[in-house]
Structure 1
Amino acid sequence: MDALGPLLTTDTATDVRAESLTGFTFLELHARMSVVAPTLVQFMDSLPRRRSSPVITVTTISQLMYESNWSNNRLQKTFSIYFKFKGLTAKGFDVLHALGLVMSHSWISKAIRRMSRMTLDELRELVQKYPWVLTYDNVVILLKIFSQRLENLQKLTSGTAATAYLKPGATALPASANQDLKEQRAANLDSPITIRRVLDLAAVGNKKLRPYYAWLLLAALIHSPDFDLSTYKFKDHTLLQKPPPLNPLPIGKDAKSMQFLLSSVNQPEASYSDHVSLIDEWLKQLHMYGKQWVESIGREKVIAFIGDQLTVSRLRGLFFSFERLDFLLPIFGWLHFAMQAANSLHAQYLGRAKGHGFLASFTLLGRKGLHKTSTEGPFHAHLNEAIHHVGEAEFREIWRTVAAQSKATVEGLRSKTTSELVDLATRALSHHASSEALETKEFYTQFTRDLLPYLTLVAAIKDGDVGSLEALLPTFLFRFIGGGNNNYQEEALELLNGLNVDWPQNVADFVRQNCWLLTFTDNADNFVSFDQAQEHNIKDIKVTYKPPGPRGGWDYMRILHTAIPTIRTNVRF
């Protein structure tokens, strides 16, 4: 059994890192144990009444090794983190610890502190090597009281949580970008983007996006049950594939982002002074604060801060020397942008339960809770899903009309070649979703025309197509102006002004490539916006990994939150 020791021990300097906690598989350990102690492994494999299991064998041997020497605790450390954040109580830990399955409950408390410290130390090293951006948002947490007194009451607290994101393959901005950005901002202070320029950008963007709009109509046809794409003789033709992205983000190992949660603070982000204090706090946590760093950041750095509209509008008001934070690059998050676009469609096309519009469709589909917009709960996810369903139904109705004009049915369109189907989709776009359409169906024409940009926006975020996002900006600027959404009207205009007037080319490219979307996988269709990734982290802070006991106050959460990415990796292992 001494020969098995090296397989089940870990270096105490790195034992709570994600690589150590999850850097093995049971099959791999079983195979290595079979080489070192074949007789013991064969005996353990023969004990189960049913077929042998590498998991049972490795776990049993690990228990025996742990009982003989507490240093043989590789699996116990992994199991301890898993059970702790799956809700196991302290007494439950005592039972499993007695069985040799987990470490002690006191070890967990110390491990969380070490995990937090190691994570922050790693982040401080990485921000010196790779480009990074930062997001933060408010978090409201209810502090429960388990022994209520007049001086010890349950209360709702407000704080702020921040996350730093790094991309190893990103190209860092040169030190000169800071001064170039200041000079270009100053030079264009009295000459922002003009209405004519916005209209020109809208015309160019619509021309680029037209193939995507036509493809959305075509996809509704070929994926309908009546068409039955699986038996269509030209089903693999390239014309039936989605058009290539206008400007796709790269994928691969170096393109995957790394995220690190900073220590959350019990301070809201309500005022300008709050934001100044919060920025100081984040820089202090990154060890980028003090006289030397103040001068370096003020003269050589450009730091992108990403958040919702309220956050970035506050940051934009702090633009004026280092004390006035003109090294900031505030960027809105595309999740909140898409939410506002969906709410705008909802407000425009809600209609009545008996008539035309979303409400009639929601009633028919039995979708409850969508009659009124909300920023809480899963409302946006449900609304987005409903918009896609209603849009698909509308597109299929368009194809029924197109088929009828050819004296055919939707099923009869299977006789068409792929080029003929593409031509029909282009004609359908012109006749049913543009200014060329007949005025007799004005409502449905306008509805389809407004729906296509939203569906393209959602798809572009998922696919990492920043070119389509940029092309859509003028369209949604006009929508927000028409809908009276002053906040996001300003955000769309600020971004257009930055990309085309205020920012040097290298800064604009950095924003496109590193400040809009990110991915944690190698899949081309698995991108998310930065504010959506932050919302996932806030969910983990408020719900998934919220401390359940009486000592889960802000002092403990400040330590816990930086360890959440490692805990998440371990729990999902």
Structure 2
Amino acid sequence: MPFEDSDEPVESPIEDDLEPGDDEYFDDEDERDYAPRQPPVACQTTEAFKQFHRAQGTTGEQFCEKVRDIIEYMEKQQMNTALFLHHLLWNTAEVISDTKCQYERTSLTHSAELPGVLRNLYRPPRKHGRGYRAKGAAHAMTEVAKEIIAREVNNEMRALRPIMEAQPEDFNEESLLKITLDEMIPQVKAAAPTWWSICNTAAFTPKQAARNTKKSSPDTAILMVTAIVCFSRSVHRCKLQQLCSAYLKACGLKSRAFDTLHALYFCMSQKTVYNALDRIAESAQAQMREDVKQYPVRGTHDNINIRFQSYEQRTDNKTHFDSGTAATVYPVKDPNAVAPSPTAYQAKRAAGAKDPISPFTVIDLEDKASPQIHSRAVHQILRFLIDSEPFDLRTYKFKDSGLFEPPPPVLQLPTGPEHALVQYMCGTIHQEEASYEGNEKCIREWMRQLGLSAPEDMQKMSEEQLIVWIGDQLTASRMRGIKRFRAQDLNSVQRFDWLIEQPGFFHYMINLGFSFHHQYYGVPGSMGLKHAIDVLDRKNLAKPSVQGTFHHNLDELLHHVAEAHFRDAACALAGVDSLQDLRERSPEALTELANEIWTKLASTQALEELRSKKARDEVHEQSVMFNRDILDYLDLDDAIRHGDVGRVRNLLPRLLFRFIGGGHSNYVTETLELIQALECEWPDDLKVWILQYCWLGNTTGRAGCFAPFDLIQEHNIRDIKHIFAVFGPYATWKYIKKISAAIPTMRKIKDHVEADINHFRRGKSHTKPAKEADVAKLQRVYATGKIHIYDQKRTPLSKEGKAKDYMENGSNFDTLQTTMKKWLARHVSTRAETQDWTDYAMLAAMSNVAGGTGRADDQHLSSPSSSPTTGSNMNDDTGDIADLEMASVSSDSSSLSYE
């Protein structure tokens, strides 16, 4: 929780931090003790003596005799080895200053033999394993070694200062993302070799070090231990603590846990973390405003519902749900991007509005796209066959055949790290966006946060830029309604000419799923979705919902049912019992089989032939109709995921037919508006801009990871509500707005730490349960029911179990013409072109006199004469129905309904 209003400041548990002037030396040390020196001359004498004895071939017996002679001489002098070394090694003043003694002392202390001498003193060698080992000087050397190691470790801790040091201002995105373990571990090893060796010995037993090569390296643990002891010395040596704190905050660690881990020196205090979070949010907003000045941008917003928990209820303090709006801005930093021209757009829009699309336009677009849609449909059927578990493509002898490659994309978006989406989250606001008034207030607030709310900035922006704003169907319809009601205002800012609304394709997919649910749900015996739900025992799929995991579950069901359908169709046409029997066929034969399946069991032509028969098989007809329809759903889903916006555009006429036939009037309007814009009202530069930059985004840059912008916005809302949620009494709209901008940075840090530390243990996505058992079960049921084999004696379906042909109803010329006439009657064809900036010039002058902030109040950004008071007073062409209501239109409806 934040501490700006806290009455109980949290003190740091580190009380004995370094004082100014503390050089971290022991009392009898200084910097000169650790200065590097050249090897002394005395060592050369030792080497000369060694060479002499080597040349003379001195034997062990001769060395023994010489040693005895020296010992006997010392005894005559009333000395022994212990007294000799005692006086020689800095214990007698006269010996210390004697030149000859100094020379001999140096030859001993710097000789290459000394480590071996000390090692033998500590642990005398022996030639056998029997009896007691000589103790040597183990006890004395252990005591001395402790002191030596303490001094050495102390010196190495000093050397780690530049590696581990970090200032409070370093707690930012740029600095944190630069920290990598692969870079720090070698640095720490080089600066503190003794300390690292001690920790490494403690982390491994001798036998583990010798034999257990699969045990994970302790380097990461040793680095963290090193960071903890450095942080214990000084709170400024907190580089890893800052990184861990940001990561733990991104993972939702509670405040009490922060206090506990801070007391263990593992992370920074919670107060430090929240202060840093505020700085990160402020920095992100500042960077967003800078990018808005340099690059063209896109934007999204959507509603967010948050539950505010009250732990002590009062009249003005109760647990409740509240609605707000969250927005995200995406600058386009592609150097090859060409921003669309507002002037060209206004001219093209005015001309196109006078010559709108007709039913012939839509039918012609569908005809032109059909060959590409057909090739994709055949490839999808082929992939169902060869990707199945019974076929086992990995062991198929022609697995590398080029016939298994997908058709070329129509308009493929580029991939790569340089094309990863850059996004900035605006501050979340306590403002609903379901009404027209709410959407208008939201747009003004986003412009204020982008630094574009000053009248002169808005005027310049409207003359030089076009901003595409993406949302769900309700958001797009509200923005279109605002522009319709302001079509005759005085200037382009007040008319919102600079804003281009776009519906997101994630909500298209949701509504498309609802359409299939309405059409094919049926009854248990109709072999529809209800039957599949019962066979697979799937839960919570009886009633469409925009809440929870309904769309995900329905999407999986449609994929599994489709795969089972086409696997059964292949077996029926090929005359085999299992797809395993198809392994003997060549890739050419398999491709021909897939094409035959489409022609005979998944096309409109096949459906018409079945309906023309005197004895009709409605179960078989419905299966063929489902096969035909589901291929478009699968094609759209695949095109979105792989970033082929050309395929998405090709499917728009078929989506229109389905929405008309299913009675989804809101999405009929959205699709017609989109086709009208693409074919008549958008100049070429704007079409390229929207197709390449405004339909799909890729947050990673990896192939196959594209997503609609409205889905990306839903992910950001999920992060606000759950991943980076704010809890407790300080969870207010004000604080949520304050830290929302920090969420993309926290997400980057979380991914960075997990990739750097935890990448070999756990991925980012959960493992899906195997689908083979479910698909195989459905396939067996369909094979038993012979749904892909014509049977003229089959019992007809009941009225409740019979699905209507949405595509046939929607593509009927008369129905299409009637629908488009109703849409055209409400489509804005005339907009004012005046540019009267008198009011704006006055507001700019008032703003400068008031304080020079360059900002005007929100109410000054719109024309009071045309501003609606409430959302309910304005009727858009799509009506005032919410997403769920518009998707729940009865499938029995035979005509479109408009408000």
Bucket of the pairwise TM-score, normalised by the shorter protein: over 0.9
CA offsets 1:308-351 (integer angstroms, 9 cap, x no match):
00001111123232112011111111110011111101100101
CA offsets 1:466-486 (integer angstroms, 9 cap, x no match):
011000010010000000101
| Counterparts of 1:409 and 1:14, CA distance in 2 | 63
2:670 pairs with 1:515: no
CA offsets 1:93-136 (integer angstroms, 9 cap, x no match):
23322221111221122111101101111111122223321000
Give the partner amino acid of 2:533. F
Q: How does 1:147-546 map to 2 (within 5 A)?
A: 147-169=312-334, 171-174=336-339, 177-319=341-483, 320=487, 321-404=492-575, 410-437=579-606, 438-439=609-610, 440=617, 441-546=620-725
The offset of 1:39, in angstroms, is 1.7
| Counterparts of 2:638 and 2:285, CA distance in 1 | 35
TM-score by length of 2: 0.62
The offset of 1:253, in angstroms, is 2.7
Distance 1:278 1:401, change over 3 A: same
Give the partner amino acid of 2:188. M
**3-state secondary structure, aligned to 2:299:** strand
| Counterparts of 1:563 and 1:144, CA distance in 2 | 23
| Counterparts of 2:254 and 2:360, CA distance in 1 | 65
| Counterparts of 1:490 and 1:367, CA distance in 2 | 33
| Counterparts of 1:47 and 1:326, CA distance in 2 | 69
| Counterparts of 1:495 and 1:149, CA distance in 2 | 50
- 2:202 corresponds in structure 1 to 47
| Counterparts of 1:211 and 1:130, CA distance in 2 | 39
- 1:30 corresponds in structure 2 to 185
Distance 1:30 1:409, change over 3 A: closer
- 2:161 corresponds in structure 1 to 5
CA offsets 1:259-306 (integer angstroms, 9 cap, x no match):
111100001012222222111110111111212211112211100000
| Range 98-107 or range 84-93, more displaced | 84-93
Greater RCO (Cα-Cα under 8 Å, separation 6 or more): 1
| Range 412-421 or range 449-458, more displaced | 412-421
The offset of 1:204, in angstroms, is 1.1
**3-state secondary structure, aligned to 1:189:** helix
Q: Return 5+ residue gaps in structure 2 as ranges.
A: 1-156, 210-216, 611-616, 754-899
**3-state secondary structure, aligned to 1:267:** coil
Give the partner amino acid of 1:155. H
Contact 1:349 1:358 in 2 (8 A): yes
Q: Rg: which structure is higher?
A: 2
- 2:8 corresponds in structure 1 to none
| Counterparts of 1:380 and 1:352, CA distance in 2 | 21
% same residue: 35
- 2:783 corresponds in structure 1 to none
- 1:115 corresponds in structure 2 to 280
Distance 1:189 1:66, change over 3 A: same
**3-state secondary structure, aligned to 1:138:** strand
Q: Return 5+ residue gaps in structure 1 as ranges.
A: none
| Counterparts of 2:557 and 2:494, CA distance in 1 | 47
| Counterparts of 1:487 and 1:171, CA distance in 2 | 36
TM-score by length of 1: 0.96
Give the partner amino acid of 2:393. L
2:254 pairs with 1:83: no
Contact 1:131 1:171 in 2 (8 A): no
Give the partner amino acid of 1:4. L
Contact 1:112 1:559 in 2 (8 A): no
| Counterparts of 2:314 and 2:547, CA distance in 1 | 31
Contact 2:252 2:724 in 1 (8 A): no
CA offsets 1:523-542 (integer angstroms, 9 cap, x no match):
21111110111111111111
| Counterparts of 2:321 and 2:543, CA distance in 1 | 26
Contact 1:173 1:506 in 2 (8 A): yes
Contact 2:252 2:725 in 1 (8 A): no
The offset of 1:28, in angstroms, is 2.5
**3-state secondary structure, aligned to 1:244:** coil
Distance 1:270 1:411, change over 3 A: closer
Contact 1:168 1:257 in 2 (8 A): no
Contact 1:205 1:471 in 2 (8 A): yes
| Counterparts of 1:129 and 1:347, CA distance in 2 | 47
| Counterparts of 1:244 and 1:15, CA distance in 2 | 47
**3-state secondary structure, aligned to 2:302:** strand
| Range 364-373 or range 96-105, more displaced | 96-105
| Counterparts of 1:192 and 1:73, CA distance in 2 | 64
Give aligned pairs, total.
569
| Counterparts of 1:410 and 1:144, CA distance in 2 | 55
Contact 1:280 1:289 in 2 (8 A): yes
| Counterparts of 2:604 and 2:320, CA distance in 1 | 56
| Range 550-559 or range 252-261, more displaced | 252-261
Contact 2:171 2:276 in 1 (8 A): no
Distance 1:221 1:108, change over 3 A: same
CA offsets 1:142-179 (integer angstroms, 9 cap, x no match):
1111222223222221100001113322644447x101
| Range 250-259 or range 48-57, more displaced | 48-57
Give the partner amino acid of 2:160. L
The offset of 1:414, in angstroms, is 2.5
Give the partner amino acid of 2:526. G
CA offsets 1:517-563 (integer angstroms, 9 cap, x no match):
11122321111110111111111111121112211101110112111
| Counterparts of 1:199 and 1:316, CA distance in 2 | 26
| Counterparts of 1:225 and 1:114, CA distance in 2 | 53
